[in-house]
Amino acid sequence: MRLILFNQNALLLACMFVSSVYVNAVLDAYAIENPYISITLTSLLAPLSMLAFLKTPRNSAFALGFFVGALLFYWCALSFRYSDFTYLLPLIIILIALVYGVLFYLLLYFENPYFRLLSFLGSSFIHPFGFDWLVPDSFFSYSVFRVDKLSLGLVFLACIFLSAQNLKKYRIIGVLLLLGALDFNGFKTSDLKKVGNIELVSTKTPQDVKFDSNYLNDIENNILKEIKLAQSKQKTLIVFPETAYPIALENSPFKAKLEDLSGNIAILIGTLRTQGYNLYNSSFLFSKESVQIADKVVLAPFGETMPLPKFLQKPLEKLFFGESAYLYRNASNFSDFTLDDFTFRPLICYEGTSKPAYSNSPSKIFIVMSNNAWFSPSIEPTLQKTLLKYYARRYDKIILHSANFSTSYILNPSLLGDILFRKR
C-alpha cells in the first residue's frame, strides 16, 4: 500500500491551499508593487484554499495537513542555522508537518460540506503549542472579499454550490453568495496623515553577526546615521526593528546618546531589557529626553518560551537557550505609547500577528518591529505581511512595520493605500 505521505493528490490540494501565499511571495521577491495584480491573483486563488479543504477525502486529510504544515511553516526550522543544533533542521520541519497532519485529519474527519465549512472557519482558533499563524482567513487579506467570518462563510458556501455536480442548478446561488461577500468599501483608503511623518527603517543586519560584540560599534553607527537622515527629512518619529540594538540598552552608554538626540526627533527602537534574572524583548520610545518602555507580551513558542509542561520546559530551556540564568519573560499586559497627541501600540514581531493585541485595543495605530533575519530567505515575511494586513482590515487598524532583512511598510485598513519602504 502506498504511504499516505506520498499521496500526490494531497500534495496538489496542499499547493492549492497555500497558492495565494506563494504567489504573493513571488510578487514580493520581484518587488512587483502594483496592488491590482496582488488583489486580482489573491481574489482568484484564496478561494482555492476553501475548495481544497472542501474536496479532500478523509483518507487524504492527514497528508494534506502534513504538506500544508511543511509548505507554510518550514521556515520555523531555519532559526536552527544559528544554533548548535543545525542537524535538527529537517527533523523540525517533519515534526511541524506531523502536527498539522494530525490537526487536518481531525478538521476533515467528516466529509459533510457543512461540517467542513464550520471546521474551516474554526481552524483559526486552534493554535498548536500556542503558534497562531494558521489563519486561513488571512489568505483573503488582499482579496476583494471582506475578511470577517460571516463573509468568508459566504465564500465557502459559494464553493460548495459552485463545485456541486448539478452546477447549473446552483450556479446563481453561488454567484449571489460571492457578491454578498464582496467588500464594496475596500477601495476607499484611510487617511494616513498621522503617520505620514514617521520614518520606518529597514535594516540589513545578518543574524550571524547581530549579537556579535565585535559588530556592536557598526550597529551603533548605523543607528546614528539613520537618525540623522530622518532628521534631515524633518521626520517626527523614527522606528527601528526588533532588537535593532541587540544588548540591554538600559545598561549601555548608548542610551544617553539616544536621549540626547530625542530632543529633535522621537526614537522608537527594539532592544533588550533585564530585570533581575529576567530578560525582556522590549521597545524603548525616546522623546524629549524621556523614555517609555513596553515589554513583549506574547512570546514566540519554542523561540522565546517553551509551551510545554514544566517537567519538560526547564530541561529544554537549558538545552536550547543555554545555561544562562537569563530567560525570556513576558509582560502581563499590552502598553500604549503617547507621543504629543499621537497614541499608538508598539508590538514586537510575533505578537504583532496575534489577535489579542488588536481585539480589545482602543489604539487606531500599531507599530510592529521585527527581526526577520532568523528566517531569511523564506516565505515568512510574506506570511507575516498577510497576517498583519488581515488584522488591519479585520479590526480597522493602521499598522506600521519596521523590519530587519525584509521590507518595512505601512498597511492601510482598506485594500489600497499600503506604502512600502524597500531595503536600502
Q: pLDDT tens digits for 164-209?
A: 877 777 889 999 999 999 999 888 887 788 898 999 999 999 999 9
CA 79 to chain CA mean position, Å: 16
Q: How far apart are CA 28 and CA 31, in angstroms?
A: 5
Q: Are 394 and 419 in contact (CB under 8 A)?
A: no
- The residue with greater pLDDT, 309 or 163, is 163
pLDDT at 157: 97
Single out the catalytic residue among 296, 385, 389, 397. Answer: 296
Residue 422's φ and ψ, nearest 5 degrees, are: -70, 155
Residue 424 in this model has a pLDDT that exceeds 70 = no
Give the pLDDT band (50/70/90) at residue 323: low
> Which entry of 76, 210, 349, 389 is annotated as an active-site residue?
349
Cα 111 from Cα 108, distance rounded (Å) = 6
- Is the pLDDT score of 68 beyond 60? yes
Average pLDDT over residues 58-75: 97
* Residue 423 confidence class, pLDDT cut points 50, 70, 90: low
Of the candidates 123, 131, 92, which has an alpha carbon nearest to the alpha carbon of residue 305?
A: 131
pLDDT tier, 322 (very low <50, low <70, confident <90, very high otherwise): low
CA 8 to chain CA mean position, Å = 30
CA 285 to chain centre: 22
Q: Of 237, 269, 240, 239, nearest to 255 (Cα)?
A: 269
Which residue's C-alpha cell is 527533523? 91
Rounded to whole angstroms, the Cα distance separating 159 from 30 reads 31
**Whether 15 is catalytic:** no
Give CA separation, 176 vs 113, 171, 179, 181, in Å.
19, 9, 5, 9
- 371-394 per-position pLDDT tens digit: 999 999 999 999 999 999 999 999
Q: What is the pLDDT of residue 399?
A: 98
The CB density around residue 278, as the number of other CB atoms within 10 Å, is 14
Residue bearing cell 529626553: 289
By mean pLDDT, which of 63-67, 82-86, 89-93 is the weakest? Answer: 82-86
Residues 6+ apart with CB under 8 A from 407: 28, 202, 381, 420, 421, 422, 423
Confidence at residue 317, expressed as pLDDT on a 0 to 100 scale: 67
401 confidence band (pLDDT: 50, 70, 90) = very high
Cis peptide, bond prior to residue 377, ω within 30 of zero:
yes
Confidence (pLDDT) at 362: 86
Quote the mean pLDDT of the chain: 92
Quote the pTM value.
0.95
pLDDT at 187: 86
Our answer to whether residue 242 is catalytic in this structure is: yes
Share of the chain above pLDDT 70, in %: 95
What is the pLDDT confidence band of residue 422, given thresholds at 50, 70 and 90? Answer: low
Told to judge if 349 belongs to the known catalytic residues of this protein, a careful annotator would answer: yes
Average pLDDT over residues 225-237: 97
The average pLDDT across 263-278 equals 94
Separation CA 34–CA 37 (nearest Å): 6
Instruction: Supply the pLDDT for residue 170.
Output: 84
Query: Grid cell 489577535 — which residue?
Result: 355
The active-site residue, picked from 199, 242, 351, 380, is: 242
Kindly list the strands in the beta sheet with 419-421, ordered across the sheet, starting from the edge strand earlier in the chain. 337-339, 342-348, 365-371, 398-404, 408-411, 419-421
Q: How many other β-carbons are positioned within 10 Å of the β-carbon of residue 89? A: 17
Task: Give the residue carrying C-alpha cell 507575516.
Answer: 384
Q: What's the pLDDT at 308?
A: 75
- Residue-wise pLDDT tens digits, 18-51: 999 999 999 999 999 999 999 999 999 999 999 9
Extract long-range pairs of 92-100: CB within 8 Å, 24+ residues apart.
94/70, 96/69, 96/70, 97/65, 97/66, 97/67, 97/69, 97/70, 98/66, 98/69, 99/69, 99/128, 99/129, 100/65, 100/66, 100/68, 100/69, 100/72, 100/73, 100/128, 100/134
Provide the pLDDT for residue 324. Answer: 58
- Per-residue pLDDT, 75: 97
Furthest CA-CA distance within the chain: 73
Average of pLDDT values for 300-326?
73
Give the per-residue pLDDT at 325.
Answer: 47
**The pLDDT of residue 257 is above 80:** yes
**pLDDT for the residue 76:** 96
